[in-house]
Amino acid sequence: MVLTKKRLLQPGERIRVLVVDDSVVIRRLVTHALEQDPALEVVGTASNGSIALQRIVQLTPDVLTLDIEMPEMDGLATLRRLRTDFPHLRVIMFSTLTERGAAVTLEALTLGADDYVAKASNEGSLDQSMARLRQELIPKIKQFFMQPGKAPAPVPSAAIGVVPASPGPQSIAVPASGKPAPKILVIGVSTGGPTALGALLPELPANFPLPVLLVQHMPPMFTRLLAERLHSTCKLAVEEAGSDSVVEPGKVLIAPGDYHMKITSGVRGVRTFLDQSAPQNSCRPAVDALFSSVGEVYGGAAIAVMLTGMGQDGLRGTEILKAQGASVIAQDEASSVVWGMPGAVVAAGLADKVLPLDQIAREIVRLAGR
């Protein structure tokens, strides 16, 4: 079971965190980093999963930070027990930036972990490690909770067909004849993405007529392993994009970690190109970078899908595509791990359809066959 709704904190209530790691240094580092935020409270630590399971009953945490490699009971074994015994507990995995760490983290996400962060490397000073932890871990903990007095963004009751004014040369009117026939499917996703993609992409048929490009917020190596995992379960070929990958029907291309994926059209057809220009919305790869590039090549002849994820990456790119006539689908709140990215698209009135995850593939296939 994976929770999907943010929990509203009561006035004065802090988010209770249990830190689980076999390294004394990491436990102290994480504890010190988190306790500098007044909204968080580290209620305890544990050196392995067996001890953590006992302390959950005593300490009633809201969130667990969970190491993967631990003696006696490792992270995956602990996670399986957590999802059975404590289904309402949020779990953030601590991963090493190694191939094994990435593979096990993807396995943890499919087993119901809510998110992950990369462990601090041994390089750099303690202050740098603390700063990186605060920057990466604290927002990932807070994304599952709503502070008192902060109401969710309103969802327009009649959002379909509404396109907010978007200044800029790419914001052109929808063709009078209606939406153009789609020539490409683009997908943006972040927190909860591996599970969402694992449910959605295998539902696309082998004869799906459009190329598929997607951005999943993940670091290098993780995106390659994600592509390999999805390739083994999908009817379409799935691969991590390279520079000059061919954009063609029957293939799903995933933006590689730490690179924006964009496209260009020339005498050799439509191809990808990668760059390491500045992050957009603190993300690289960024959904906005892909969607904006697709607008330049395909105009509104696109289906844009926004799935579960934290933040608002993809909102600007979706505005550009929608203004040119693209069809926009957003995952609904109930089936999203975090309703940040799709929620922003819905709140802006850009979504033609807001659907549960298990209905999105059917709608995509319908639109692709128009």
E-only strand ranges, the chain: 7-8, 15-20, 40-46, 63-67, 90-95, 115-118, 145-146, 184-189, 212-216, 237-240, 251-254, 260-266, 269-275, 302-306, 327-331, 353-355
CA distance 247 to 152: 38
217, 260, 288, 352: the active-site residue: 217
**From 21, 67, 115, 190, active-site residue:** 190
190 catalytic residue (yes or no): yes
How far, in Å, CA of 221 to CA of 234, rounded?
Answer: 20
Q: Which residues contact 167 (CB under 8 A, 6 or more apart)?
A: none
Q: Which of 197, 215, 211, 195 is nearest to 279 (CA)?
A: 215
Q: Are 152 and 12 in contact (CB under 8 A)?
A: no
Q: Are 88 and 41 in contact (CB under 8 A)?
A: no
Q: What type of residue sits at position 109?
A: L
Q: Is-catalytic flag, 313?
A: yes
- Cite the DSSP H helix spans in 111-239: 126-142, 193-200, 222-231
End-to-end distance of the chain based on CA atoms, in angstroms?
36
CA-atom Rg of the chain in angstroms:
21
Q: Which of 67, 114, 115, 313 is catalytic?
A: 313
**In this structure, are residues 247 and 270 in contact, taking their beta carbons and an 8 Å threshold?**
yes
For residue 217, indicate whether it is catalytic. yes
Interatomic CA distance for residues 181 and 327, integer angstroms: 10
Own/partner pairs for 59-63, CB < 8 Å, 24+ apart?
Answer: 59/16, 59/18, 60/16, 61/16, 61/17, 61/18, 61/89, 62/7, 62/15, 62/16, 62/17, 62/89, 62/90, 62/145, 63/15, 63/16, 63/17, 63/18, 63/89, 63/90, 63/91, 63/92, 63/141, 63/144
Taking the C-alpha atoms of residue 157 and residue 301, their distance in angstroms, rounded to an integer, is 26
- Catalytic residues, by residue number, are 190, 217, 313
